[in-house]
Amino acid sequence: MDNRIALCTELENEISRQGYSLSRFSQISGINRGILSATLNGNPPKPMSINQLDTMNTALGKPEGWLYELFVEQCFDEQGKTNWRRVSALLFRCIELNRNVLIDRILCLLLEDISYLNHVFELAEELIVDNPSDSVMQLYECVVSNERNYQAERLAISHYRIFRYSIKRDIKQNFIAAVTFQAFCDRLPSYMQLDAWLQLANVYYTANEWLLMEKCGDALIELSNRLYKEKKYHNLKSERSFVVYYGQGYLMKSTFYQKVGQYEESTIYIRKYSDLSWLDDLDECGQQEVDRFKIFAQGNSYCTELYKGNFSVLDSYIAFLENYPKETIPGLLTILSTANQYNIVVDHIIEKFHEHITTNLYMDHSAKKKSVADNQYTNMCYQLAVYQSKHASQSTKLQNTIKRFDTSLRKCNMNLNLDYTSLLQNVIRSMP
């Protein structure tokens, strides 16, 4: 009761200081005089809503969130059960205003009764759709900290939301977030598992963690095949078409075998996603994804041949990259990597795609996640620098490439599996 009186006293004093009578303040605020009187002068005062406090703050010319600290304490300073409707409205406003300290205080007071934990989770799920923010993440972190049932679905979903929100351009931090979350993936609803395994696979790809990426591919293959066999793929609430998850599982497997040098196995898995038109119930969006997988399969088939040392496909691959410019940077990565491996001269190819390299056009393509694009561009710059150092390129060209590589490396926090020392040794050897 003391906190309610303290809040009302602060408001009354400010109304009086600005020279308003209760009747006049009722007029300018639009709050009914009787309600205003009962709220400020009642004995006991009538409970105030956060909307009423905001309305009075506006009328008094105060900043948004004025007196929220007192309002928070008032909400939990009453006899009887906490009014979730009032508390949720307050939480919503604090989230809108990014009042993170107050959010923590509200959650601490609220969860003295643990039965409100599900209310917190449901509010987070409502808000995440339109407002993924640090403030909403506080709600999920509250669920993670207070959930007593380790098998609870809401615990797994909360970990998943935190993981997805954590994915930025810092590859090292993304990897840590993925490892922290992965143990909860199997406890998600099936539609959410599809998205989760795909996101995990992308993170492990950018971190060059091929074995972990392969496990995600296996999980996608098993889950998507089971859902398809049981005809449970209809009307999934997943973020993308079902065919994406079906094809990506096989794409991840083919990528794994390519990265570890098992090219025949890679080719087997490439064939599995090269034509997915046989899948039932493909809508227009699904058919577009089928077409994209055909492109991926064609490009990866060329890559596999190059890694095997078959450079007879190089001209055809160049024509392919000209037709599909979004594949240029990963394509150049393959060409430069294999040129370095087999000591092949590809100066004419570097010149042909010079603009893509120098302007980094690939980074503007929204079809790829930024972390994946960053990874491929950084690795491409590294391989280009190695190539130029081996082939005694002009020092200015080499310096520019190393500068791009270093900038991209630092931006993405990519210190994984890139032998910077070896690169510098090659540079030194190339100097006259």
Kindly state the tokens that stand for 248: 């990506």
pLDDT at residue number 387? 87
Looking at residue 73, its pLDDT comes to 86
Find the range with the poorest average confidence among 71-85, 100-114, 125-139: 71-85
Residue 295: other Cβ atoms inside 10 A: 15
Would you say residue 343 has pLDDT above 90? yes
Contact 225, 233 (CB under 8 A): no
Please name the residues in contact with 97: beta carbons below 8 A apart, sequence gap of 6 or more.
64, 65
Residue 253 predicted with pLDDT over 50? yes
Specify the pTM: 0.88
**Could you tell me the pLDDT band of residue 235, with boundaries at 50, 70 and 90?**
confident
Eight-class DSSP state of 45 = P
Task: Determine if the peptide bond prior to 44 is cis (ω within 30°).
Answer: yes
Q: What would the pLDDT profile of 124-137 be if each residue is shown by its tens digit? A: 999 999 989 999 99
The neighbour count for residue 297, using CB atoms within 10 Å, is 22
- For residue 77, pLDDT beyond 50: yes
- Please state, in angstroms and rounded to a whole number, the distance separating the CA atoms of residues 305 and 335: 11
For residue 325, CA distances in Å to 365, 370, 380, 430 come to 10, 17, 15, 32
Has residue 400 got a pLDDT over 50? Answer: yes
Q: Which pLDDT belongs to residue 427?
A: 58
- The confidence score (pLDDT) of residue 270 equals 98
Task: Evaluate if residue 368 carries a pLDDT over 50.
Answer: no
Mean pLDDT of all residues in 12-27: 94
The more confidently predicted of residues 394 and 92 is 92
**Span of 11-25, 66-80, 181-195, 205-219 with lowest mean pLDDT:** 66-80
**Lowest pLDDT segment from 113-117, 129-133, 320-324:** 129-133
3-state secondary structure of 393: coil
Residue 236 pLDDT: 84
Cβ atoms of residues 132 and 165 within 8 Å: yes
Mean pLDDT of 140-151: 96
Whether pLDDT at 360 is above 90: no
- Which H or E run includes 324? none
Using DSSP, state whether 147 is helix, strand or coil: coil
Structure tokens that stand for 34 in this block: 């009787």
At 365 the pLDDT is: 41
- 133-142 burial code (b ≥16 CB/10 A, e <16): eebbbbbbbb
Record the tokens describing residue 310, joined without a space: 């078959």
Q: Is the pLDDT of residue 158 over 70?
A: yes
> What is the token pair recorded at 117?
């934990």
Q: What is the pLDDT of residue 362?
A: 46
Helix%, strand%, coil% for the chain, nearest 5: 75, 0, 25
pLDDT of 411 > 60? The answer is yes
Packed helices 171-182 and 153-166: angle between N→C axes, nearest 10 degrees? 170
Can you identify the CATH homologous superfamily of domain 1-79?
A: lambda repressor-like DNA-binding domains (1.10.260.40)
Q: In whole angstroms, what is the distance from residue 11 CA to residue 58 CA? A: 12
- For 47-116, the DSSP string reads PPPHHHHHHHHHHTTPPTTTTHHHHHHHHTSSSSS--HHHHHHHHHHHHHTT-HHHHHHHHHHHTTSGGG
With CA atoms as reference, report the closest residue to 253 among 288, 286, 302, 204: 204
Average pLDDT, stretch 185-197?
A: 96
pLDDT at 406 over 70: no
Q: What are the tens digits of pLDDT across the range 296-308?
A: 999 999 999 999 9
Beta carbons of 193 and 229 less than 8 angstroms apart: no
pLDDT for 68 equals 95
> Is the previous residue joined to 325 through a cis bond, with omega within 30 degrees of 0?
no
In this predicted structure, what is the pLDDT of residue 367? 34
pLDDT band at 6 (very low <50, low <70, confident <90, very high): confident
Instruction: Tell me the C-alpha distance between 195 and 246, whole Å.
Output: 11
Q: How confident is the model at residue 261, as a pLDDT? A: 96
Query: Among 13-22, 340-349, 377-386, where is mean pLDDT lowest?
Result: 377-386
> Where does the pLDDT of residue 377 fall: very low under 50, low under 70, confident under 90, or very high at 90 and above?
confident
Average pLDDT over residues 176-184: 97
For 254-382, list the strands marked E by DSSP: none
The whole-number pLDDT of residue 357 equals 79
**Least confident residue range of 190-194, 284-288, 301-305, 424-428:** 424-428
Query: Rounded to the nearest 5°, which phi and psi values hold at 431?
Result: -75, 140
Residue 392 and residue 383: Cα distance in Å, rounded?
A: 14
pLDDT of 29 reads 94
Which has the minimum average pLDDT: 17-26, 221-230, 281-290, 374-383?
374-383
Query: Would you place residue 412 in the very low, low, confident or very high pLDDT band (cuts 50, 70, 90)?
Result: low
Q: Which two tokens stand for residue 298?
A: 């064609």
**Which tokens is 27 given?**
């007029």
Q: Indicate the average pLDDT of the chain.
A: 89
